[in-house]
Amino acid sequence: MTVLYKPTGTTSREIASDIERAIALGALRPGDPLPSVRQLAATLGVSPTTASAAFAELRRRGVVVGRPRSRASVSARPPVATQTEFTAPPGVRDLASGNPDPELMPPLRWALDQSDFEQHLYGAETMLPALRELAAKDFAASGIDAGAQIVVNGAMDGIERVLAAHLRPGDLVLVEDPTHANLIDLIRSMMLVPLGVPMDADGPLPDATAAALRDVRAAVITPRAQNPTGAAIGRDRARELGAAFAERPDIVLIENDHSGLVAGVPHHRVERRGGPWVVVRSVSKTLSPDLRVAVAAGDAETIARVQGRQLLGAGWVSLFVQEIVRRLWADPRAQALVSKARETYALRREAAIDALAGEGIRACGGSGLNIWFAVASEAEPAQSLLARGWALKPGAPYRLGSAPFLRVTTATLEPEEAQALARDVAAALRPAHLTKLA
């Protein structure tokens, strides 16, 4: 427990609220250990049952992590209104954020300059017909029937809405291990439980996936540009995974195609007959993260459930924003820039992998914006590289049970920079290797 935090409260609700408030104010930071049940009870003069109930509530909502009978710690990304994102210090090269290269995204003025925008009132179509047609063609190119579609505010919004439409608190959700840190924290914040399955460069391992499917109610997998590993599901792996899912038609199958056309490899869909399914395809990496738009295609019942709930709350994703997406998606200049981005990201990714290989470091990443390499521990080399002017992302927030690693976002990393990065990575790792050998 950090020395800045002094717990207060006499009931489990008061104690839980106090811990949550401390996280929001920064007195408790992501990863900070919390006192044990006995310590907290003694400090506050309450019963162990009261202290345990406070932790149980926070654990249920994903604010803290840890098993019920073990010491808890603050979640890596707690669902609390606080700033937990890493910001690279001035003068440090940011290879940690996961952002695309803004120079490879179409200027929004290309859409704004085309013509006036139409006013849309309550009761209008919630998805522009022209956008529906564009998205359907894009899905069809991957062999996906997009007869039922909905627009959502980005991939994570779509995933959250699908999970909420089908699952109840306590249900298990299959995810890759490692996987997108936001996904782990989102699942926990929904009072669901992430269950990780090991993966390789071709995605989730089929046998491990089949075994995990006995216990889960939903699965979220990434067909390409997997974050953080850059893995992509090939044709054979998609067929093997499809066979595993065929045995469980009751499971909700969600494919998170967050990078779309700039992933650099085809989308091989995990197919099965029957059962609820959704493919969420975002424009964040291709057109702009700030547009906050993704299109979800799926079975008619799931899409209807998601749309019905959306109508009760937000209502719809702004048709003004949808029109911007439609115009950019159809603009030949934007199409050319997306093609250039796909090729450039591949070149930068491969150059970084080759440069690290030249220093004896095996890095992986066959698609998307990121690569990764294994380390004995994450904190020391990450700090050493930060001191050398490089910000890389430690793997801890992405891992459930997998081994330590560092992630490199190569989206803006020029080949000549990759050589310098590789030399500094080798220098940062060398002391750890020498210690291990000794």
What is the per-residue burial (b if ≥16 Cβ within 10 Å, else e) of 238-269?
bebbbebbeebeebbbbbbbbbbbbbbbbbbb
292 with 395: CB under 8 angstroms?
Answer: no
**Same domain membership, residue 251 and residue 239:** yes
The pLDDT of residue 126 is 94
**Using CA of residue 209, residue 228, residue 173, residue 233, what is the dihedral sign?**
negative
Other beta carbons within 10 angstroms of residue 165's beta carbon come to 19
Looking up tokens 């992933």 gives: 263
**Same domain membership, residue 322 and residue 356:** no
Residues above pLDDT 70, as percent of the chain: 95
CATH of the domain at 97: 3.90.1150.10
Choose one of 268, 298, 330: the last residue of a domain.
330
322 with 131: CB under 8 angstroms?
Answer: yes
pLDDT digits (tens, 9 = 90+) for 97-134: 999 999 999 999 999 988 889 898 898 899 999 999 99
Residue 270 lies in a domain: yes
Q: CA angle, 380 as apex, 24 and 370 as ends, to 5°?
A: 75
**Same domain membership, residue 38 and residue 21:** yes
**Same domain membership, residue 62 and residue 127:** no
CB neighbour list of residue 42: distance below 8 Å, 6 or more residues apart = none
Residue 1 lies in a domain: no
pLDDT digits (tens, 9 = 90+) for 310-338: 999 999 999 999 999 999 999 999 999 99
**Same domain membership, residue 307 and residue 352:** no
pLDDT digits (tens, 9 = 90+) for 388-402: 999 999 999 999 999
Mean pLDDT confidence for 270-295: 95
CATH of the domain at 139: 3.40.640.10
Residue 262 lies in a domain: yes
Residue 129 lies in a domain: yes
Radius of gyration of the chain (CA): 23
Residue 255 lies in a domain: yes
**Same domain membership, residue 161 and residue 98:** no
Q: What is the pTM of this model?
A: 0.85
| Alpha-carbon span 149 to 147, nearest angstrom | 6
At residue 437 the predicted structure's pLDDT band, cuts being 50, 70 and 90, is very low
Residues above pLDDT 90, as percent of the chain: 75
Other beta carbons within 10 angstroms of residue 216's beta carbon come to 22
Residue 179 belongs to domain spanning: 116-330
**Same domain membership, residue 338 and residue 324:** no
**Same domain membership, residue 223 and residue 316:** yes
Longest dimension (CA), the chain: 71
The pLDDT of residue 82 is 56
At residue 436 the predicted structure's pLDDT band, cuts being 50, 70 and 90, is very low
Looking up tokens 């940011």 gives: 94
Q: What is the chain's mean pLDDT, rounded? A: 92
pLDDT digits (tens, 9 = 90+) for 414-424: 999 999 999 99
**Same domain membership, residue 360 and residue 308:** no
Choose one of 303, 330, 357: the last residue of a domain.
330
What does the H/E/C string look like for the chain? CCCCCCCCCCCHHHHHHHHHHHHHHCCCCCCCECCCHHHHHHHHCCCHHHHHHHHHHHHHCCCEECCCCCCCEECCCCCCCCCCCCCCCCCCEECCCCCCCHHHCCCCHHHHCCCCCCCCCCCCCCCCHHHHHHHHHHHHCCCCCCCCEEEECCHHHHHHHHHHHHCCCCCEEEEEECCCHHHHHHHHHCCCEEEEEEEECCEECHHHHHHHCCCCCEEEECCCCCCCCCCCCCHHHHHHHHHHHHCCCCCEEEEEECCHHHHCCCCCCCCCCCCCEEEEEECCCCCCHHHCCEEEEECHHHHHHHHHHHHHCCCCCCHHHHHHHHHHHHCHHHHHHHHHHHHHHHHHHHHHHHHHHHCCCCEECCCCCEEEEECCCCHHHHHHHHHCCEECEECHHHCCCCCCEEEEECCCCCHHHHHHHHHHHHHHHHHHHHHHHC
**Same domain membership, residue 240 and residue 323:** yes
Looking up tokens 């003069």 gives: 45
270 with 238: CB under 8 angstroms?
Answer: yes
Give, to the nearest 10 degrees, the angle between helix 129-140 and helix 319-330: 50
pLDDT at 434 over 50: no
| Alpha-carbon span 226 to 218, nearest angstrom | 18
Residue 167 lies in a domain: yes
| Alpha-carbon span 348 to 119, nearest angstrom | 42
**Same domain membership, residue 272 and residue 258:** yes
pLDDT digits (tens, 9 = 90+) for 203-251: 999 999 999 999 999 999 999 999 999 999 999 999 999 999 998 999 9
Mean pLDDT confidence for 336-365: 97
Residue 346 lies in a domain: yes
Choose one of 330, 352, 373: the last residue of a domain.
330
Residue 158 lies in a domain: yes
**Same domain membership, residue 187 and residue 145:** yes
- Token readout for 10 is 């006499």
In the chain, the number of structural domains is: 3
